[in-house]
Structure 1
């Protein structure tokens, strides 16, 4: 692709992988970060600019002369963050990005949403037409942000599409590290029967999906679910990780009701102090919600295709964790 392309949220897990992927494909990249201390890791792969999507006056310099924007920056779930911050970043921040892009004459944006806009899938697998069903403030804010993006695409002021990744993981991911560590240390347990459906997407495949979506400049105002080759039960996921770590598959199953009640209680106690509770409802929901999606639209219209199967992805993650010292076996 000719031109210079901006990646917002470039210091995050997805953003950094995207920057590296674009660079590897010969694409000129401008990486947007919020702090100068985040620049060093990206400078070998991109021009780095410091800006903040919640501060509109910082955006013109980031967007000057770019041919397209990958809008990845978002506020994910974390403790100690006021509820208003989700609106500031995931809703107002989206509007700030689009307004600045239109003013700068940027022709196209690929906006990153989430499969979480659909939340629990009652009749799996779901496609892009499944109803929105937010389960928490993060998911609600992402719906509002996606709606803003779609309204701009529909207005004709700027082109682009929305990507809804499934459960993102990959080498270097610290969010799924706890799952792998618990299995490796033989202290993982299920809440419920372990048959809830999971649908992972390798961050490297997601990076390629972003590139394909930018290149597909005749497609406008569409949403695409981006996921791995197949979905599976949580037990299938844990079995494969256990097998590759050469540890026994976990067998302990805790009852759903009491654990969820305890989660609500600990969250209620910890939230006023800005403390991340050791157990909270969203974490329990991981064991209960179905996340299973039909990715045929992305395959057909974008040419998206996952590069390897779940087993190969897990092997790459485990290898990376050991090399980084994140994972050890007792």
Structure 2
């Protein structure tokens, strides 16, 4: 039996689909509302909360492998308590339950934000140590501290491995998470930045996770990244795939600084979460490069999907999902 936390999220849902297509039985955790019943007899949905150690341990009865995908992803400073509470304490509970139930292996989905993204003129790899000055988000801090819980579990005898994906591209609810990039491009959002970061297909993340889980690899972390490209180039690819107008107005650092401040004031006056924050605007302007060599050296038969190919497939899936012309 395989347990998946964060089963309804982008990574979790794609992982479950891949596992069941291989005939594997999955126990999938949901928090409050069970997903609509499907016809897949291989998926057992159970209500549990990673912040409730009792329900978590009950869900792990008879489980051999655990994929911990659950997390709060937010770059709004106002969500600090929720981010830290869920990502750190929730991961600590998962680690403790794995130890208590003698789970054979844990795979933790972390983020490159846990390494510290804002490093000028440096290619980020797994050897880099946490640097407070190299991170601009509470989310990054929370994922770093969550990783420390996993490393603590390894020290207590838990067989575990960590993946650090870059920005994950996939078809999902485009009102949430990274899929919002596709909605913005479809709506012909006119602005772009020349910031650079890594992007990776959710299908590649899932394949890499399964390879690591089924291997003898443990006590390691791996960056998962297909390509380092500009946000501008990504938006152009998406707009082209949708047959939409490409972004044509460049955002300068001064303009970005003015916008996030205006959004912060607007948020305080209306009580609504700001669309842009200091963290997100800073990230969009930064030029950050990630190395994917460690994973490719460990699994030489693995090949990442080119971003352009991923974008074309995902746009088709989103057109079907939202009945777009």
TM-score (structure 2 length as normaliser): 0.89
Q: Give the conservation status (yes or no) of the 8 Å contact 1:80–1:275.
A: no
Matches within 5 A, 1:259-278: 259-271=256-268, 274-278=271-275
Matches within 5 A, 1:170-319: 170-172=170-172, 174=174, 175-190=177-192, 194-217=193-216, 219-228=217-226, 230-271=227-268, 274-303=271-300, 305-319=302-316
- d(CA) in 1 for partners of 2:104, 2:6: 20
Q: State the SS of the aligned residue for 2:150.
A: helix
After the TM superposition, which of the residue ranges 295-304 and 158-167 deviates more from structure 2? 295-304
C-alpha RMSD over aligned residues: 2.4
Q: State the SS of the aligned residue for 2:284.
A: coil
- d(CA) in 1 for partners of 2:278, 2:156: 41
Which residue pairs with 2:71 in the alignment?
Answer: 74
- d(CA) in 2 for partners of 1:82, 1:231: 29
Q: Give the conservation status (yes or no) of the 8 Å contact 2:99–2:153.
A: no
- d(CA) in 2 for partners of 1:205, 1:233: 20
- d(CA) in 1 for partners of 2:178, 2:88: 26
- d(CA) in 2 for partners of 1:320, 1:98: 35
After the TM superposition, which of the residue ranges 104-113 and 172-181 deviates more from structure 2? 172-181
TM-score (structure 1 length as normaliser): 0.88
After the TM superposition, which of the residue ranges 37-46 and 309-318 deviates more from structure 2? 37-46
- d(CA) in 2 for partners of 1:128, 1:50: 35
- d(CA) in 2 for partners of 1:226, 1:239: 23
- d(CA) in 1 for partners of 2:148, 2:98: 17
- d(CA) in 1 for partners of 2:283, 2:140: 14
Q: Give the conservation status (yes or no) of the 8 Å contact 2:20–2:43.
A: yes
Match of 2:104 among 100, 107, 119: 107
Q: State the SS of the aligned residue for 1:199.
A: strand
- d(CA) in 1 for partners of 2:83, 2:189: 33
Alpha carbons of 1:326 and 1:278: their partners in 2 closer, same or farther (altered >3 Å)? farther
Matches within 5 A, 1:17-56: 17-38=14-35, 40=37, 44-56=41-53
Q: Give the conservation status (yes or no) of the 8 Å contact 1:172–1:317.
A: no
- d(CA) in 1 for partners of 2:270, 2:158: 43
Alpha carbons of 1:319 and 1:145: their partners in 2 closer, same or farther (altered >3 Å)? same
- d(CA) in 1 for partners of 2:5, 2:163: 15
Alignment length (residue pairs): 319
Which residue pairs with 1:157 in the alignment?
Answer: 157
Q: Give the conservation status (yes or no) of the 8 Å contact 1:196–1:233.
A: yes
Is 2:96 the partner of 1:96? no
Match of 1:116 among 101, 113, 117: 113
Q: State the SS of the aligned residue for 2:123.
A: coil
After the TM superposition, which of the residue ranges 50-59 and 283-292 deviates more from structure 2? 283-292
Alpha carbons of 1:177 and 1:145: their partners in 2 closer, same or farther (altered >3 Å)? closer
- Per-residue CA deviations over 1:243-295 (Å, capped at 9, x if unaligned) read 32334432211332133133134225415865111332233234212342111
Which residue pairs with 1:166 in the alignment?
Answer: 166
Residue 152 of structure 1 deviates from its aligned partner by 1.4
- Structure 2's unaligned 5+ residue stretches are none
